[in-house]
Every structure is written in structure tokens, then in C-alpha cells.
Amino acid sequence: MIKTLALAILFFAGFLPGITVAQQAEYLGFRACTKCHDSQGETWRASAHAKAFDSLKPNAKSEAKTKAKLDPKKDYTQDKNCVGCHVTGYGEPGGFVSGASLDDMKTLVGVTCESCHGAGGKFRNLHGDGGDRLKKQGETSERKPLVDAGQNFDMEKACARCHLNYEGSSKYEAKAPFTPFSPAVDSKYQFDYLKSVTATGKSNPVHTHFKLRGVFKGDPVPAVRATLQEDAPEPE
């Protein structure tokens, strides 16, 4: 059933104007990333993003839901207006499917690697090839093929899709379904990208940013990369 749904989505996407090959790349789930990026994966598992789906369950985050005029006793885990910002690849090829077994969807539950970096179905192999090239030949690889294959380097925009998608947002072209968790509800929802992405320890919402090996070169380079790499620890 899941495979049929995924194929149907992929078939339909092929007839939409403006849909590129990169945009049709399938989601693979976080384990496809953590096979190599195990240090990042370990710290991500302890993050708020990894547990994002749990907040949709009944009686979770009750105070915050009540403040946002939501029913804290309701199960929002299949609510199409909420799920997209709490799972990975919702409604996209290979992405999370509402109503499917959570055991089948377990590598797509929560805000995972591909929520920020893009569906890895096409660029994952390029990453592996780049690593091999550096190791065996001492050569770096261009980033542009990664972009062409669907990797996202605009991290701020990836965050804004959910954190700034509230009605009346002045920092993002928000569109329905809007998040009910806006600064008007509580000042803590006044999202600061730079502050969030550079947070350390338990305050880090994503994962620890470890020292990178310089496998790739050229544009695009996220503006925040230099800041994150200044004091980045070595991978364990």
C-alpha cells in the first residue's frame, strides 16, 4: 500500500509544470545519512527536532497547545495541517505517509536530516563519490552537482517554512496551513535563525556541527558555515 501511494505521488509529480528531476528525488530516511554522519546523528537524536512528532500526540505540550487555542487532548498525528512540520517529506516521493504504520515510517518521523538538506535520493551517491575522490586522489569536488541533484544549501529558508509560516508573518511569504504558534501567542516563537542554528548543548535544536573535511568546493556555501566551523569539534 505504501509503495503504491509513493508511486502514485511520483507519477502525478511528473506531470506538474515546473517540477524538476531534482525536486522528484526520493526521501531515503535519516539512516541513509547517519551511516556516514554518525556523530551528527547521535546528537540529533537528543534534539527537539528528532522528537517533533511526539508533540502532536494527545496531552503533549498541553500548555502550549492551549495557549495557541488548540485542543491539548486531541491527537494531531494525522492532521494534514500539522503533520508536515513534524515529519520528513510529507506528501512527497518517498516521504512520510499519514496513516501508514509508524514502524514503516520510523526513519521519516520527526524533523530529520532531509528536512533541512533536501531529499537524498539523488545527491547521496554524489556525497559518497566526493568522499572517495578526496580519500583516494586528494581532490575536492564541486558543490553545484549536489544542488542540481536536489541538495539544499539555503538552511534559513528551510527553517522559515515552518517557524515563520504564521499568518501575518513579515519575514516570510507565509501560506496556509499556517502554524498557530506565532509571536502573538508567545514571544518565544519569535524565531531567530542565527541564534537557533549556533546554539550549543541542550539548546541546539538540530545537531552538533562537527569539523568538516573540505570534500566539496565552490558555491553555494551557507552564510553561517564559517561561524559554525570556528569552534567545531572533531567527529567522534
pLDDT digits (tens, 9 = 90+) for 195-207: 999 998 888 889 9
Buried-exposed string 72-98: b where 16+ CB fall within 10 A, e elsewhere? beeebbeeeebbbbbbbbbebbbbbbe
Backbone angles phi, psi at 92, to 5 degrees: -120, 160
Indicate whether 18 pLDDT > 80: no
Q: What pLDDT, on the 0 to 100 scale, is given for residue 119? A: 97
pLDDT (0 to 100) of residue 123: 96
Q: Is 94 left (phi over 0), alpha (psi -120 to 50) or beta?
A: left
The domain limits of the chain are 2-230
Q: What is the pLDDT of residue 57?
A: 98
For the stretch 26-45, pLDDT in tens is 999 999 999 999 999 999 99
Classified by CATH at the fold level, domain 2-230 comes out as Flavocytochrome C3; Chain A, domain 2 (1.10.1130)
Does the pLDDT value for residue 4 go beyond 80? Answer: no
Chain segment 81-135, per-residue pLDDT in tens: 999 999 999 999 999 999 999 999 999 999 999 999 999 999 999 999 999 999 9
% pLDDT > 70, the chain: 90
The model's pLDDT over 157-188, given as tens digits with 9 standing for 90+, comes to 999 999 999 999 988 999 999 999 999 999 99
* Distances 78 to 54, 94, 103, 227, 233 between C-alpha atoms, Å: 12, 17, 15, 38, 39
Tell me: pLDDT of 210 over 70: yes
Predicted local confidence at residue 19, as pLDDT: 40
Give pTM, 2 decimals: 0.86
